[in-house]
Amino acid sequence: MKLFELTWQYLTTAASWTGEGGLLDRMGEQLLLTVTALLVGMLVGLPLALWLGHLGRGGFLAINISNIGRAIPTFALLAVLVTADWPGPAYFGPYGRAGLATLIALALFALPPLVTNAYTAVREVSADVLEAADGMGMSGLQRFWRVELPLALPLVMSGVRLALVQVWATATIAALVAGPGIGAIIVSGFARNRYSEGIGAALVVAVVALVLEVLAALVQRAVTPGRAAAPRRKTRQPVGAGV
């Protein structure tokens, strides 16, 4: 019971959040890592997956990229990258020590949901819709931009949403190679027997993950076709009403 009280005290103390190395500072570092790794993953994975889906080929490649990405533990990959000559443990601008290695590991971790969902989204566009687009004389590129991509966008966003939350939660491993992020507080707290700090920081990671999930769900909802509110049906007044 005392541990919960100490954790609550830690989370409700202003000093825990402010200053260098505080929760807000570490949260900013982890958000920067997460967003950058996600953007890199999107730039690498989405164009390839969308184009393969459009061509109707490369399903084997897309599935195996996802399977390999899921099979390789992110921390093991990070450990290899840090101990290698490149990218190694060097500082990388605002991403801190081993920043480039951490970014590469997290970007690769983001690829499986991005590639799988994007490829599947384009492949699942109705054949009748594609036939209608061909009948209208659209070129392959026009059909992709004007028909396939808009219809595939909700499922693509679902992959982005999943990758965002997963990368945010996994970014805490940067602390295991003396990198930035909230993981540094978690590791330091448990290493110094200050369990309230470690648990409190872990709770912050969980809460931010929920917030990111909700925000991403709202974006996904906004890009889903047919979400516009249906017009209200007029209520028919009884004969003689208002006379």
Q: What is the residue range of 70's domain?
A: 2-222
* β-bridge mates for residue 91, sequence order: 97
Q: Is the overall model pTM greater than 0.95, yes or no?
A: no
Say if 228 falls within a structural domain. Answer: no
Residue indicated by tokens 């399903």: 59
User: Distance between CA 116 and CA 97 in Å, rounded?
Assistant: 31
For the chain, the domain total comes to 1
Q: Residue 1: its pLDDT value, please?
A: 62
Say if 227 falls within a structural domain. Answer: no
Say if 230 falls within a structural domain. Answer: no
Say if 232 falls within a structural domain. Answer: no
Say if 123 falls within a structural domain. Answer: yes
Say if 236 falls within a structural domain. Answer: no
Q: Residue 233: its pLDDT value, please?
A: 47
Q: Residue 131: its pLDDT value, please?
A: 87
Q: Residue 140: its pLDDT value, please?
A: 83
Say if 160 falls within a structural domain. Answer: yes
Q: Residue 235: its pLDDT value, please?
A: 44
Q: Residue 238: its pLDDT value, please?
A: 47
Say if 238 falls within a structural domain. Answer: no
What's at 226, amino acid-wise? Answer: G
Q: Residue 227: its pLDDT value, please?
A: 55
- The ranges of the chain with pLDDT < 50 are 228-243
Q: Residue 239: its pLDDT value, please?
A: 47
Q: Would you call 198 exposed, middle or buried from its count of C-beta atoms within 10 A (0-12, 13-18, 19+)?
A: buried
Dump strand ranges (E) for 5-144: none
Question: What CATH number is given to the structural domain containing 124?
Answer: 1.10.3720.10
